[in-house]
Structure 1
């Protein structure tokens, strides 16, 4: 069992700072219940040295785009431990590092190389965003590096928190022993309509060829780049965007529909129909008006489209 839970009652429009007026993430396990309430924003803007471990690349991309004034230090593929060590020794007042779990080890290596590992543990706040991903995305090579069983990096930080809107009941007793916070809301989040059909793609075709069914833009989460291309081609539509990872394989799978590819979602650039791969199921702000419709499409005949509703599904809608 977790420690006794501290509940924070919020209204739907409230942000993280309503629950924590000091605008500082407390140590512990934070169950947000609702996505995008501003916990990563709070971490980035706090006046202290911090490391944010973020499993979702779009969150990092959004942060770099939206907060250039913070000069976040992104640890990515081409960033070496030597470059990180130089940053750690710089005179930057508040060092703000963002990394994926897979690259976290380079930060540890950098701190060791300059003899400042213990200082890292003592003075940096460590925040693990989208904490459920360490269970729901365990298939990712090296995602568990922060939880290295030999060195226990995560638990050596004096100030550390985990946050998620889709809480996972971890078995690790050290997580269970963290202080636990849970946001609860006065209002319902909204209404979901479930369409159960033996041929989901036929249902999607009906929707794509009858755009007047929807008053605003339509955002469709379907984790199959190949099938996204096929349903667009069969429907013979052009008022569409496709958002997925920009790589050679995806472009080949999209074939002729690759002309509809966009490198990232941007407010004001949406088409009537907008398709997203699983890359965009969580961790970014979809900014559209109240007439927009969100569709989560799964098909038992397309195995990789079958995402877990309590985690990726909940995050998407």
Structure 2
């Protein structure tokens, strides 16, 4: 990829982007703009300030558009009364009506999908507009073209038209440079905005082996604050609110699918739109970027990652965390990222990943070429099916060309995954983010997320027993210095509910060390428990008390008489071990002897 030339634009404190030299006449065209800071008015300028040109602003997510549509000024008037928001509930016909009305200039804010299916065809249909000459196209939060392409392929739809526009730009506070060669071919440059004042936020990075317990520690350190907890997992939101018993004080904001999922789980305070905030507000990735959260107080912002329970909760310090840090318009009291780590996390180094993709692409092309040589229908069907099933297909379009954004996304994801191998890797990633300062600490608990993850993946009876025993053992042992005893949530209760037989064996056999000696083998454990049970039968307190009442010092019960009496009481108390004369030594100090009648007797000396 050809390196793009880099230019710079300074910005002063309190200055809007539209007030800087390079932006006075509009957003500069043919640039990828690294605006560095959030909330400096990039889209505001395009919609409100530049009132001499038509604009199409493509936003990656609906909440941003809804927020712009409903935003009010201090007098209660709409800030953007002339803009049209276009997303799933807005029709192509509505776009056509807007284009034909008297509003000038036209300011259309839409999703990538709506651009392709509604905005573009509407403008092409209405007379008097030339889509590519009469509109400035601005792709906002442009890093999403790289970070979200894997699960949202349509996000790159505008790129098929992007380079056809006479006036165009991409912008983000956390911009990434695409590998798409068309940027260099069209003379694009990079424009970096340089703040001329101290602008860095400080984030407290908390590494841990137990995310929910560490979160509880952080919450307790802010006893009177409101919290905005950014976590991209409905399952993790539910686990947190249930384990910490804060569901009644919590509200989750997420996409429709997650709203329905959380409601089925029993969480009632859920919405797909921001507003009516509570003490604990859980925010999914739908609201990570571009959205403004307006509250009068200064909440604590917490980012939560659990690589075991919710791999999708992994965040990139540069793109995700920087955006999250800028969501609260009135400022924040604290910024925290809590995460665990997995040293076995699977990822590929950049060079390896690229080689795998292009080696696969070469083989794919050979299959495509063979399609023209195969003469039988069955052979063609087989080859077509083969080309659709190979792993590399997701990196290739219908014209059999490599999709640069899918490649960029894969490389990006592998890099971010690598951060979560251990604390050092993530600290290095944070250290590279120029808009954040960070502090860090590691909180270790006796029970870990890894134990629960291992249990959920355990195969074979011995492995399941080992995992359950390790969790139970973490509750039994005294923690090492610096390790906090885990006492939060329902981990032990869940294990007892899901694996009652193993828990029963664990308690019966005497704990983890005995199970370890038996190599967590169920057959060996069962035999050992039977042995222990027989031994313990003889120690029944009521039975022992009764046996010890039979004799006093200097008594001489016959051996046969004692054994007969013992057999009777064993039967009464359900003892399965056969009665033996020597059992008297469990309860009495005694010696075997022969009396004057030459009969074997026990000479009782006293109680044990």
TM-score if structure 2 supplies the norm length? 0.47
Indicate whether 1:217 and 2:256 are aligned. Answer: no
Indicate whether 1:70 and 2:81 are aligned. Answer: yes
Match of 1:272 in 2: 279
Shift of 1:256: 5.8
2:316 to 305, 308, 313: 308
Q: Which runs of 5+ in 2 are unaligned?
A: 73-77, 326-608
Match of 1:228 in 2: 237
**Any idea what SS the aligned residue of 1:156 has?**
coil
Distance 2:201 2:13 in 1: 10
2:156 to 134, 144, 155: 144
Match of 2:169 in 1: 161
Match of 1:10 in 2: 11
Aligned pair in 2 of structure 1 residues 81, 61: CA closer, same or farther (>3 Å)?
A: closer
Assess if the C-alpha contact under 8 Å between 1:222 and 1:298 holds in 2.
Answer: yes
Assess if the C-alpha contact under 8 Å between 2:143 and 2:172 holds in 1.
Answer: yes
1:26 to 25, 28, 35: 28
Shift of 1:303: 1.0
176-185 or 195-204, which deviates more: 176-185
Indicate whether 1:201 and 2:203 are aligned. Answer: no
**Any idea what SS the aligned residue of 1:94 has?**
coil
Aligned pair in 2 of structure 1 residues 219, 159: CA closer, same or farther (>3 Å)?
A: same
2:289 to 282, 286, 297: 282
Query: What pairs up with 1:31-42 in 2 under 5 angstroms?
Result: 31-42=34-45
Distance 2:314 2:234 in 1: 13
Assess if the C-alpha contact under 8 Å between 1:11 and 1:187 holds in 2.
Answer: no
Query: What pairs up with 1:52-71 in 2 under 5 angstroms?
Result: 52-66=57-71, 68=78, 69-71=80-82
**Any idea what SS the aligned residue of 1:192 has?**
strand
Identify which of structures 1 and 2 has the higher relative contact order when contacts are C-alpha pairs closer than 8 Å and 6+ apart. Answer: 1
User: How many pairs were matched up?
Assistant: 307
Structure richer in helix, relative to its length: 2
**Any idea what SS the aligned residue of 1:253 has?**
helix
Indicate whether 1:98 and 2:109 are aligned. Answer: yes
Aligned pair in 2 of structure 1 residues 82, 239: CA closer, same or farther (>3 Å)?
A: closer
Shift of 1:243: 1.3
Distance 1:224 1:271 in 2: 19
Q: Which runs of 5+ in 1 are unaligned?
A: none
Distance 2:199 2:89 in 1: 44
Rg (Cα) greater in structure: 2
Assess if the C-alpha contact under 8 Å between 2:28 and 2:169 holds in 1.
Answer: yes
Shift of 1:110: 2.2
Distance 1:65 1:77 in 2: 17
**Any idea what SS the aligned residue of 2:153 has?**
coil
Distance 2:128 2:164 in 1: 14
Match of 1:124 in 2: 135
**Any idea what SS the aligned residue of 1:97 has?**
strand
90-99 or 195-204, which deviates more: 90-99
Distance 2:194 2:297 in 1: 23
2:260 to 251, 260, 276: 251
Deviation digits for residues 140-178 of structure 1, max 9, x if unmatched? Answer: 031111112xxxx11111111111111212112332432
Distance 2:38 2:87 in 1: 25
RMSD value over aligned CA atoms?
2.4
Distance 2:9 2:297 in 1: 27
Shift of 1:298: 0.4
Aligned pair in 2 of structure 1 residues 51, 291: CA closer, same or farther (>3 Å)?
A: closer
Assess if the C-alpha contact under 8 Å between 1:226 and 1:254 holds in 2.
Answer: no
Assess if the C-alpha contact under 8 Å between 1:2 and 1:180 holds in 2.
Answer: no
Distance 1:205 1:246 in 2: 28
Distance 1:99 1:203 in 2: 40
Distance 1:263 1:79 in 2: 17
Aligned pair in 2 of structure 1 residues 11, 22: CA closer, same or farther (>3 Å)?
A: closer
